[in-house]
Chains A and B, each alone.
Chain A
Amino acid sequence: MELNKTAVSLSMLSKVYTVGDVTIEVLNDLNLKVQKGQFAVITGASGSGKTTLLNIVAAIDKPTDGSVVVFDENLNGKDEDFLADFRCSNIGFVFQSYNLVSTLTVAENVAFPMEWARKPQAQIAKQVAELLRLVGLERRGDHFPFQLSGGEQQRVAFARALANDPQLLLVDEPTGNLDTKTSQVIVDILRKLQDDGKTAIIMTHDEQVLDLAKQRLRLESGKLVEQNG
């Protein structure tokens, strides 16, 4: 019963950028529904608007037109404080370029979303240890991001995204910058999250990641096209 509920609903979504005299229509009357507990994997050419779409779902960016409903919450027109809280509690975002905070250690990078959620210190410490174990970096907690490899930084980014146990994961090219072996580690993490019943929207070109998807889509000319696995 729970699985049939809609986690993300985008309808008639448009995003237009204007650069000088040139207008670029990135998303055009796009519709998408992702059910709770499902992994939607989206592919598309570079510059097709995949990251823009993720940014809009995460309320980091605003659509030019159309509505964004995430877990029954219409995000259009909400103020910045509400959106910040909403992101912190409900959404885990894994950026393509990891975006770890260079001045914080691995453990602190994982901990800070929980600190914003005002969780008790003891719970934060326990959760950080569990998440680092999940991504296989339990011995790297005191290291700084620049002391990690790309794959390790990506795993820290996953741990950070899972910090507040969000219902929705937004993952941008999780294996795009990684070698096959490291990619496999990331796929394993994603598989575990899928088994745990998480909802995710993943942008990727990686076949291994595509295999995880119940819903495969392709972003073309600003619209999503269903693809059968």
Chain B
Amino acid sequence: MDEIVETFFSVNDLLRRKFQTSLVIVSLTLSVASTLFLLTFADKLGFGVLAIAEGKLTASFSIIFSHFISFLSFLVFLVGAIIISFLVFLMTSQRIRDIGLIRAAGCPNNLVFGYFMNELFIVNFAGCALGVILGVIADIASTNLLSSLGFQIPQGSTSIWLVLFVFATFFVVGLVLGAKPILDVTKITPIKALSPTYYLGLGKVVRFKAASKSGLTLKLALRSLSRRKSATFRIVLCLTTVFILITVAVAGGIIANQTTNSWIEKAVGKDVILIAHRETCDQYKLLLSKFHESIPDAPFNYTDERYVISEYLVGNLTSISGVRKVDRRLVLSAHVKEIRGYKIDPETSATIPIGDNRETGSLVIGVNPENMVNEWFLDGRLLRDDESFESIVGDSLARKIFTMPLNQSITLSNRSFDVVGVCLDPINNGNVTYVPLKTLQNAIGATESNIVLAKIDPLANYTETLNQIRTKVITADASFEVFELNKIVNENLGFIGYLWSTIMFLPMFSLTATCSCLTGYVSLVLAEQQHEFGVLRALGAKPRALIAIVAVQSLIVLVSSYAAGVSLGIITTLLILVPEPIITSYTVIEIASWLLVALAATFIVCLYPAVKLSRKPILEIMA
């Protein structure tokens, strides 16, 4: 019987306070919906990127994309949990006075607790349930919209497990955190609960005073923030997490995009011309295009005598004034095998074996370290000289058959090469081994090379030099071809750009979701201060004075959260997400502009409920 009474009281009470109840339910719904939507979208994006990148990219590129999406998903979840816990805390905090009143009227503690826990349960359940429904609808709608715009987003249905997980987690978080203020207030005397000293937190008088000369707007805003310390701290915490999310998404996305672009550009080289027999040329193009296109492996005889580059041709190319470097290479397909390495345990001085004896097919390229036209993003060091038994392996090969490549060696044509570096190279999806040219030639009994890369001097006339190269090559052998590698670099960059542009929907949606959650929060905060705003209006404050107070209040909270969030976000991005990031002054300007747009957007959204409130009749504000 008691339970029925409790439920009736709760339902009637919620219905009596229609505006406040709907406000909390709408805010909760938006928070749950946006979190679920972002998680499902990130999930699909992760699968989408994997599907798009299947058989393409290199291992390290795929890892950066998946780390990025996973980290953003984690932050999205964290932001959702913080916003929801904050909303329920705010909701129950606003009922402290009512709880005090009911207790003062003689209602026993357990019944009061039951009434308000029922209310919390109903509101929390409604918010979470509506939230997951809205989140699924938003997911389906956005997936269809983006697909119709040409983006490759998987069309599958939303994961029921993810929906249940979000619902259950947020429901429990809401109940636990919402119950705390109710429980706290049932432990104190009714008179204390009725006192503004307690329910507004005014008892902890902070002798914080704005300078006497500061304007009334600033004074009211500062006082309101400093005297509602708990609420202010919570919103700063909440917004800081939001700004970390936005910073990681925006700055991380931009930096990662530029860094990965730079890796590709450097690995292939800028203004590099490929000279080889027509068939070798086509094969080399295919190997480089594997980064952005799924191309099945086909057998190719790299050692065919027709493909050999003559010394005469190399000499002709070297004599062109606009050519800065001529990089002769011997490209092969070979079987490579991992050799176990050893390391010394620093504590026991025992020798610990590393790796196994795994083997695989790999593209093998002999290069002269002194004449190389490209640079890599490299873990380790470059090859020392043309005759050493050293090697640099591509990142995909390193992950495929090595445990700690820099402590291991590789076998090729029955010769052992120390692995001195792991490079990021798009050729053959990173399944590549670079060794010194002469050592390779000695190992396979060859004396020539089968491709030449010529780097055009940036100071020279590009077209003129290219024409000179073409003339020299055709004159030497008509079956040879000249190809500008810039074309493939651009295709590879376009592919990376496409992947990032798809992923960048995540921060955009995060910002939109954050703004909608913040609108709910500001509405709740305004509801708390509404009566006083009404009094100010009744005593001569113009509507814009209210907006100014909320604006200053929001700005103080936003800027402090922004400073903390952006700093932490940048540190996270640079330290965790992107190794050796490329940051130019343009990057900084681009990131700063995006983050300022995010700040401005959040600020404007924060003001919307205040603008709406200021337009209401005074008596309605005071009611």
Q: Which residue in chain B gives the minimum CB-CB distance to A100?
A: B535
CA distance A153 to B459 in the complex (A): 82
> Which residues of B sit under 8 angstroms from A80, Cβ to Cβ?
542-543
Asked if A116 meets B541 with Cβ closer than 8 Å, knowing A61-B617, A102-B200, A104-B220, the reply is: yes
Nearest to A99 among chain B residues (CB) is B535
In whole angstroms, how far apart are the Cα atoms of A164 and B540 in the complex? 11
In the complex, the answer to whether B538 meets A103 with C-beta atoms within 8 Å is no
Residues of B within 8 A of A62 (CB): 617
Majority-rule SS of B interface residues: helix
A146 to B538, Cβ gap below 8 A?
Answer: no
Bitwise, B228-257 to A at CB < 8 A (1) or not (0) is 000000000000000000000000000000
CA distance A121 to B214 in the complex (A): 10
Whole-angstrom CA separation of A93 from B540 in the bound complex: 10
Interface contact B543-A102, CB-CB below 8 Å: no
Tell me, in angstroms, the Cα distance from A108 to B539 when the chains sit together: 14
Interface size class of B (residues with CB under 8 A): 20 to 34
Within 8 A of A (CB), among B609-623: 617-619, 622
Verify if B316 is at the interface (C-beta below 8 Å from A). Answer: no
Q: A87–B543 Cα gap in the complex (Å)?
A: 13
Does the CB pair A144–B202 fall under 8 Å? yes
B195 at the interface (CB under 8 A from A): yes
Q: How far is the CA of A160 from the CA of B538 in the complex (A)?
A: 12
Distance (Å) between the CB of A205 and the closest chain B CB? 23
Which among B197, B535, B540, B622 is the interface contact of A101 at CB below 8 angstroms?
Answer: B535
A71: Cβ under 8 A from any B Cβ: no
Q: Using CB atoms, name the residue of chain A closest to B219.
A: A108
B220 & A101 in contact (Cβ 8 Å cutoff): yes
Please determine whether A93 and B538 come into contact, CB atoms closer than 8 angstroms.
yes
Task: Say yes or no: A112 contacts B216, CB within 8 Å.
Answer: yes
A146 touches which of B202, B543, B545 (Cβ 8 Å): B202
Q: Output the residue of A55, A101, A115, A160 with the most chain B CB within 10 A.
A: A101
Query: Does A224 make an interface contact (CB < 8 A)?
Result: no
Q: How far is the CB of A47 from chain B (nearest CB, A)?
A: 16
Q: How far is the CA of A156 from the CA of B166 in the complex (A)?
A: 51
With both beta carbons as reference points, the residue of chain A lying nearest to B532 in the complex is identified as: A101
Chain A residues contacting B224 (CB-CB under 8 Å) are: 103
Whole-angstrom CA separation of A104 from B209 in the bound complex? 10
B290 interface residue per 8 A CB criterion: no
Q: Considering the chains assembled together, what is the distance between the CA atoms of A60 and B534 in angstroms?
A: 10
Most buried by B among A55, A80, A85, A88: A80
Q: In the bound complex, what is the Cα–Cα distance between A116 and B205 (angstroms)?
A: 26
Near B by CB (< 8 A), chain A positions 101-156 give 101-104, 108, 111-113, 115-117, 121, 144, 146
**Complex: how many Å from CA A113 to CA B538?**
10
Residues of A within 8 A of B543 (CB): 80-81, 84
- A115 contacts across to B, CB distance below 8 A: 215-216
CB-CB under 8 A for A84 and B542, given A103-B223, A115-B215: yes
Is A58 an interface residue when CB atoms closer than 8 A count as contact?
yes
Q: Which residues of A contact B319 (CB under 8 A)?
A: none
- Residue positions of B touching A, CB distance < 8 A: 195-197, 200, 202, 205, 212-213, 215-216, 219-220, 223-224, 227, 531-532, 535-545, 617-619, 622
**19 A–B contacts from the bound complex (CB under 8 Å):** A55-B619, A61-B617, A61-B618, A80-B543, A81-B542, A88-B541, A93-B539, A99-B531, A99-B535, A101-B536, A102-B196, A102-B200, A104-B219, A108-B219, A112-B216, A112-B536, A113-B540, A117-B540, A146-B200
Which A residues lie at the B interface, using CB under 8 A?
55, 58, 60-62, 80-81, 84-85, 87-89, 93, 95, 99, 101-104, 108, 111-113, 115-117, 121, 144, 146, 160, 164
Excluding A93-B538, A104-B219, 8 further A-B contacts by CB distance (< 8 Å) are A60-B618, A80-B543, A101-B220, A101-B536, A103-B223, A113-B540, A144-B202, A146-B202
Task: Return the 3 tightest CB-CB contacts between A and B, nearest first.
Answer: A88-B540, A103-B223, A115-B216
